[in-house]
Amino acid sequence: NVYKSKSKNAQEAHEAIRPVSAAFIPTDIKSALNNDQYRLYDVVWKRTLASQMIHATIGTVAADFNFGDDHNLRANGSTILVKGFLSVYEEGLDDVKKDKENRLPKLTKGDVVSVNEIIGNQHFTEPPPRYSEASLVKALEEYGIGRPSTYASIISTLLNRDYVELDKKRFIPTDVGKVVARFLETHFDTYVDYDFTAKLEDALDAVSRGEKDWKPLLKSFWDPFIERLNEKEESVSREEAQYKRELGTDPKTGKPVSVRIGKYGTFVQIGTKDDEEKPQFAGLLPGQKLDTITYDEAMELFKLPRDLGQTPEGEKVSANIGRFGPYIRYDNKFVSIKEGDPYSITLEEALELIKEKKAADANRIIQQFDDGIEVLNGRYGPYVTNGKKNGKIPKDTDPKSLSHEDCIEILNNAPAKKKRRRKKK
């Protein structure tokens, strides 16, 4: 290679395709390939040649056009001075740059140009787009953070811990992610600094090459880190770590209204744990965020649960918000509100949801016994359950024919549920 990888941490030989010859020009072998094969080979061939060519030289130009004394227009763009690799392959602009680059012809001061059309456009500046998976990996490479073998685990950790969520293939920070980032930047700024991480990874690479001893390296990291950790455990309160936004005062009680993050997500709170009366809590609606929810929006949440009325059987029906979003409650059972919200849903709409829920449950239940044992239709076929333990029904057995004793035997022979290991956060 004449032109090697720009990234010093590229860890070569991870490529999916390794070109060995450029002798076969795409157009010469097109007849021997189908359309998809030709398009793929064409891209690989062109990019291979482009990777060994000189850089393109592009000049940035600001051209002023004068229309008399009162009208001056400016065009900003670029002109290609040396085509270089662009002679072979011109890749589409990365979607991180939304505005396409304006290419201008070669211009000389004093040139007279003709006006074909004048178009007035309004433009609004926007913040840089959120990272996609590809642009995040590119940024990690530029900062020297991570390695090709660790990029996938970095991204999966961000998702698994709910630090980010995907929206239209873009990573959007969650309330939890923002609080964690704010906390680390405040109390562990050294360890989340881009340069610190990159230098540490370089040092670990040196260890893997046998150029450094790993013990002094780890000691130089661990000793100051554990000292900082112990100091923060003493000086930082749980409330500070969770982060809390004060929104105002409840007019009825005079107690503070705040929004914060808890074990089950973001919630609004009236009062504090030091009050004689227990604080009031309310979960946020989908789309509401820790940093943007207003006082009025927060107070609306305390209008729940809403009493909607009763079912024809006399069961009380109410609407509320829980850990998993808005729901209808009736007879100690729950139905999710997938469309609409708990503030505006009517009794008729709630009864329709309950009706659909009961119909779905009826199709799910095959048999029920007095002691709570049930035979149900599940995602992977019929099974027996007592609410704590599930037992698979043999394929050659009709689930409707099972007796109570058969169900007990199936549960007794069923393997114990594996305990799910809770991921450390």
User: How many residues does this entry show for the chain?
Assistant: 425
**Residues 350, 265 share a domain:** no
**Residues 233, 324 share a domain:** no
**Residues 222, 165 share a domain:** yes
**Residues 186, 217 share a domain:** yes
Higher pLDDT, 419 or 178: 178
Mean pLDDT is lowest, of 124-128, 240-244, 347-351, for 240-244
SS3 202: helix
> Residue 9 falls within a domain, yes or no?
no
Q: At what angle do helices 133-143 and 194-208 cross, to 10 degrees?
A: 70
pLDDT beyond 60 at 360: yes
pLDDT beyond 90 at 103: no
SS3 175: helix
pLDDT beyond 50 at 273: yes
**Averaged pLDDT, 58-62:** 81
Confidence of residue 12 (pLDDT cuts 50, 70, 90): low
Higher pLDDT, 3 or 85: 85
Nearest partner of 366 among 313, 415, 406, judged by Cα:
406
Higher pLDDT, 223 or 283: 223
pLDDT beyond 60 at 322: yes
Confidence of residue 66 (pLDDT cuts 50, 70, 90): confident
**What does the pLDDT read at residue 85?**
86
> Residue 95 falls within a domain, yes or no?
no
| Helix, strand, coil percent content, the chain, rounded in steps of 5 | 35, 20, 45
**What does the pLDDT read at residue 6?**
52
pLDDT beyond 50 at 423: no
Cβ burial, residue 34 (10 Å; 0-12/13-18/19+): exposed
Provide, rounded to the nearest whole percent, the portion of the chain with pLDDT above 70: 91
Listed residues 324, 349, 364: the one ending a domain: 364
**What does the pLDDT read at residue 125?**
80
**What does the pLDDT read at residue 378?**
84
Mean pLDDT is lowest, of 17-31, 59-73, 89-103, 186-200, for 89-103
Return d(Cα 305, Cα 327) in angstroms, integer.
10
| C-alpha distances in Å from residue 182, one per residue of 132, 195, 241, 270, 424 | 22, 18, 9, 24, 19
**Residues 267, 204 share a domain:** no
**Averaged pLDDT, 218-238:** 91
> Residue 162 falls within a domain, yes or no?
yes
Q: Which residues of 186-201 are buried (b: 16+ CB within 10 A; e: fewer)?
A: ebeeeeeeeeebbeeb
Return d(Cα 253, Cα 364) in angstroms, integer.
47
Query: 259: domain range?
Result: 239-302
**Residues 203, 157 share a domain:** yes
**What does the pLDDT read at residue 56?**
86
Confidence of residue 201 (pLDDT cuts 50, 70, 90): confident
> Residue 122 falls within a domain, yes or no?
no
Return d(Cα 326, Cα 344) in angstroms, integer.
11
Return d(Cα 168, Cα 349) in angstroms, integer.
31
SS3 64: strand
Higher pLDDT, 393 or 419: 393
Q: Taking the CA of residue 315 as centre, how many other CA atoms within 13 Å lie in the half-sphere pointing to its CB?
A: 15
pLDDT beyond 70 at 156: yes
**Phi/psi of residue 89, nearest 5 degrees:** -145, 125
Cβ burial, residue 230 (10 Å; 0-12/13-18/19+): exposed
**What does the pLDDT read at residue 239?**
74
Listed residues 302, 319, 343: the one ending a domain: 302
Q: What is the total count of domains within the chain?
A: 4
**What does the pLDDT read at residue 4?**
56
**Residues 343, 246 share a domain:** no
* CATH code of the domain covering residue 204: 1.10.460.10
Return d(Cα 159, Cα 170) in angstroms, integer.
12
Q: At what angle do helices 214-235 and 194-208 cross, to 10 degrees?
A: 150
Listed residues 220, 238, 256: the one ending a domain: 238
**Residues 233, 144 share a domain:** yes
**Residues 293, 279 share a domain:** yes
2-8 contact pairs (CB < 8 A, 24+): 2/52, 3/51, 3/52, 3/53, 7/141, 7/144, 8/144
**Averaged pLDDT, 222-237:** 91
Return d(Cα 170, Cα 130) in angstroms, integer.
6
**Averaged pLDDT, 6-17:** 58
> Residue 57 falls within a domain, yes or no?
no
In the block, residue with structure tokens 């058969």: 406
Encoding tokens for residue 294?
A: 């207003």
Return d(Cα 419, Cα 352) in angstroms, integer.
37
**Residues 208, 146 share a domain:** yes
Report pTM.
Answer: 0.53
**Residues 194, 227 share a domain:** yes
**Averaged pLDDT, 386-395:** 87
Q: Are 366 and 400 in contact (CB under 8 A)?
A: yes
**Phi/psi of residue 30, nearest 5 degrees:** -60, -35
**Residues 228, 172 share a domain:** yes
> Residue 52 falls within a domain, yes or no?
no
**What does the pLDDT read at residue 257?**
93
Largest CA distance in the chain: 99
Return d(Cα 36, Cα 53) in angstroms, integer.
26
> Residue 2 falls within a domain, yes or no?
no
**What does the pLDDT read at residue 425?**
40
* Beta-carbon count within 10 A of 341 CB: 14
> Residue 317 falls within a domain, yes or no?
yes
Mean pLDDT value across the chain: 84
Q: Are 88 and 53 in contact (CB under 8 A)?
A: yes
**Averaged pLDDT, 113-119:** 79
